[in-house]
Structure 1
Amino acid sequence: MAIFARVVDLGSFRAAAKDIGLAPSRVSEIVTDLEDFVGTTLLNRTTRKIALTNEGRKFYAHAVEMVRCAEDGLDELNALSLEPAGSLRVSVPAFMSSSSLATAMGDFTTRYPHVELSVSFTDLPVDLLRDGFDLNIRVGWLEDSSMMSRKLGEIERVLVAGVDYAKARPDPQHPRDLETWDWIRYKQRSNAMEFSSGSGHPVKVAGRSRLQVDSIDALVQYTRRNFGVTVLPRYLVHEGLKEGEFVELMERWRLAPLGIYAVWPDQSRRENLTVHFVRFLAEQQGHSKTQ
């Protein structure tokens, strides 16, 4: 019944199979066995999609209630137990795979061996509910939402260019000096960068761009290869700056740090485990800048 409900929630046998960790053929077989058991067809199948029958729609409501009650039971056990248990699906920006936050997630599973953590590292936009995640890690400035959230830390950002690219141009003294530089754009953020010197009004710079990517890793590589200037988390270019692969520009000008937030549904299916996980991450990060 739980697998049937997951198939309906995610809209396909393949998506449910990936979420659960079974072969699609096995998931289809389980749903067929369930239909044989109850003596009626629950899902109409076509090559492109599935759809609930009238009987399936009625049965689905009870299956969902069964799953919810089971999850509530597990939540209560977790609340009473000193040893968290269960599974969580988490999405994290791909560029944070080498961050201290990612390390803290691994530490959580080491400390609590009865917890199974499935982490999806992606720079593509993720819908928390539609894509079946229990928790998202979001970087930037959090928009108003009905979701629960907690700030975990901050990421310092720096303006960098490849050494050879920077050497071929006059050293910029003001953000407007960068208007004629080649900017490597990151698809998921605004084109305009806002700089502050600590005195006076902030200055926004758009600059020109002929190269845009949807991966922070690609942003690092193109910058290293002297295709232009860009803004990156300091921890990603720390070693490159020490080894002379990158040049930090306009050090007296600052970019606002990016907040790191944990976001989860107001009525999470694993509320106590999710909250326990978020609290652990916050304690590990110590509300300091991520290294």
Structure 2
Amino acid sequence: MIDELRALAVFAKAVETGSFRAAARTLALSPSVVSHHVSQLENKLGTALLYRSTRKLSMTQDGQALYSHAQAMLQAAESGLNALAGRAAEPSGSLSLTLPAFFARSPLTDQLAAFSRMYPKVELALDFSDEKRDLIRDGIDLAIRIGELPDSALKSRRLFDMPRLTVAAPSLLAEREAPRVPMELANWPWLGIRMRPNRKTLSLDPDEAQTFAFQPRLTVNSIDAACRLAIAGCGLATPPAFLVQEDIAAGRLATVLPEWQVEALGVYAVWPANAARESLTLRLVEHLAGENGRAGRPSQNR
């Protein structure tokens, strides 16, 4: 049983960090040891838990079910350790957080508000900006980052996957013949995001995907701005689903090739490696991870 519990903890860390390498760095293990633990767990259960590629991991349906139980196990263990460590005193102090500006309109902001109400003696400084901040240089405690994370000395935890939609203004769609497959969109006008590559991957099912590069007509450093320009008919965009649901319902935007799913982006909490386990930073990370775990994956498509 001890071996299975250890393997469960390693499996959960691999999911949180998004790769065996990142999990190994967090757990002070080698990637091969992390892979061994996950493989042993899969062999014992007789089912695949993770789909592996050279760049990322994704959970199978069985993996998603097991991950929720692994989270509950780790949270229960953490709560017990915290109680015995005498951390019952009400937290206080200051905590700085930077996150992309468009999250101001997402459920994530509601979760931060809940944290603030839960700990009224904690002073939160929230920096909503689409420009990537340097945590060490700028003295920031925690960042919310999107997409693949570069190897660094920072620690990270995957919070949720953010669904996106391919959208365009009805006026733009009326100018062109309706596309049949994603590759036909390569020569359409696109809106580029400075922080994201000019490349899209759309999937029909797990076994069929198309990836293509495009040359943007306009490039901006704000996803909110890209949404407004898309409404104005300036090009295609793939914003987070929660940002454009009202515009789609109102007819200002329409989905393009709705049966083809644009690749979702992982959303991570990132913090300096020297943050103490009992720090406000880790308390906020646990709060966000717990909120998104209870809401289900993906939690931002609401």
Q: If the length of structure 2 is used for normalisation, what is the TM-score?
A: 0.67
Which of 98, 108, 114 matches 1:107? 114
Q: 1:143: Cα distance to partner?
A: 2.8
Q: 1:104: Cα distance to partner?
A: 0.6
Pairing of 1:19-98 with structure 2 (within 5 A): 80-98=87-105
Asked if the contact 1:79–1:272 (Cα under 8 Å) also holds between the matched residues in 2, the reply is no
Instruction: Give 1:277's aligned residue.
Output: 284
Pairing of 1:88-167 with structure 2 (within 5 A): 88-167=95-174
Asked if the contact 1:134–1:270 (Cα under 8 Å) also holds between the matched residues in 2, the reply is no
Residue 230 of structure 1 aligns to a residue whose secondary structure is coil
Q: How many angstroms apart in 1 are the aligned matches of 2:144 and 2:286?
A: 13
Q: 1:208: Cα distance to partner?
A: 3.2
Question: Do the aligned partners of residues 245 and 110 (structure 1) sit closer, same or farther apart at CA in structure 2, a change above 3 Å counting?
Answer: same
Residue 132 of structure 2 aligns to a residue whose secondary structure is coil
Asked if the contact 2:96–2:140 (Cα under 8 Å) also holds between the matched residues in 1, the reply is yes
Instruction: Give 2:241's aligned residue.
Output: 234
Residue 224 of structure 2 aligns to a residue whose secondary structure is helix
Q: 1:197: Cα distance to partner?
A: 1.5
TM-align CA RMSD: 1.9
Instruction: Give 1:268's aligned residue.
Output: 275
Question: Do the aligned partners of residues 82 and 185 (structure 1) sit closer, same or farther apart at CA in structure 2, a change above 3 Å counting?
Answer: same
The answer for unaligned runs of 5 or more in structure 1 is: 1-77
Q: 1:194: Cα distance to partner?
A: 1.1
Pairing of 1:171-250 with structure 2 (within 5 A): 171-198=178-205, 200-250=207-257
- Give CA deviations for 1:115-140 in whole Å, capped at 9, x if unaligned: 10000000011111011100011011
Q: How many angstroms apart in 2 are the aligned matches of 1:205 and 1:79?
A: 54
Largest Rg, 1 or 2: 1
Instruction: Give 2:12's aligned residue.
Output: none
Asked if the contact 1:134–1:269 (Cα under 8 Å) also holds between the matched residues in 2, the reply is no
Q: How many angstroms apart in 2 are the aligned matches of 1:107 and 1:130?
A: 29
Asked if the contact 2:91–2:119 (Cα under 8 Å) also holds between the matched residues in 1, the reply is yes
Q: How many angstroms apart in 2 are the aligned matches of 1:183 and 1:270?
A: 44
Alignment pair present for 1:288 and 2:277: no
Question: Do the aligned partners of residues 191 and 81 (structure 1) sit closer, same or farther apart at CA in structure 2, a change above 3 Å counting?
Answer: same
Q: How many angstroms apart in 2 are the aligned matches of 1:251 and 1:233?
A: 14
Bigger strand share:
1
Runs of at least 4 residues off by over 3 Å: none
Q: How many angstroms apart in 1 are the aligned matches of 2:247 and 2:96?
A: 33
Q: How many angstroms apart in 2 are the aligned matches of 1:149 and 1:91?
A: 14
Q: What percent of counterpart residues are identical?
A: 36
Q: If the length of structure 1 is used for normalisation, what is the TM-score?
A: 0.70
Q: 1:202: Cα distance to partner?
A: 2.6
2:92 corresponds to which letter in structure 1?
A: A
Which of 241, 245, 262 matches 1:255? 262
Residue 274 of structure 2 aligns to a residue whose secondary structure is coil
2:167 corresponds to which letter in structure 1?
A: V
Aligned pair count reads 215
